[in-house]
Amino acid sequence: MTKDRARYLEQTEFLDWGHGAVREFVTSATGGATDDIEKAVGIFAAVRDAIWYDPYTVTDDPMDYRASTVAASERAYCVPKAVLLTAACRAGCIPARLGFADVRNHLQTDTLRKRMGGADVFVYHGYSLMLLDGRWVKATPAFNRELCARFGVAPIEFDGRNDALLHGFTGDGAQHMEYLHDRGTFDDLPLEEILTGLRTHYGTFIDQPDRRPDLFA
């Protein structure tokens, strides 16, 4: 376990938690908490709500996926947000790693579905795994409170002890997110693998930066 702790606390190309922007983000999010669970809960909430979810921010620029860049961003999609959550936990001395899965969004908007070539499956949805109280727990900080309110879904809450994954159903019982395929866990972001998957499934989706509607308009 000692060896694993060291491995999952390291800085990497994308989990650059030693950068001032990440460390400032963690200081603000944890508010002086010293307990690992309290710190993890605070960091999760900050990543979830301070950076609004926006799938139209998908890019192939590696700089945009570094935790230091994401920490200073206003919007990002699930993969960069998971990178920041993972890096911020490591900055707080909480062992963490990245996980990915394919999910189906049953509430997909027509605009986004069209941009994704008619698909309603998100490949390489990103989440984080944190080692807390001797066990790995999963959490996805993707959807901020404002977006959840728009779609009638309760925001994902994380207590540091139980997995906090995408809701299967909305408050009125409609099907929402469905997990389809586990892509595994990683010590650092497998960016080229993810970009290849995105291009394979969605064509030129990530190459249209001038055609990004506002989810909150």
- pLDDT tens figures, 106-135: 456 656 656 666 667 889 999 999 999 999
Instruction: Parse the chain into domains and list their residue ranges.
Output: 2-207
Which class for 134: exposed (0-12), middle (13-18), buried (19 or more C-beta within 10 A)?
A: exposed
Q: Cα separation of 173 and 36, whole Å?
A: 34
Check residue 1 and give its pLDDT: 52
pTM: 0.89
Cβ partners under 8 Å of residue 83, min gap 6 = 14, 15, 65, 66, 67, 70, 98, 126, 189
CATH topology of domain 2-207: C8orf32 fold (3.10.620)
pLDDT, tens only, 156-184: 999 999 999 876 555 666 556 778 899 99
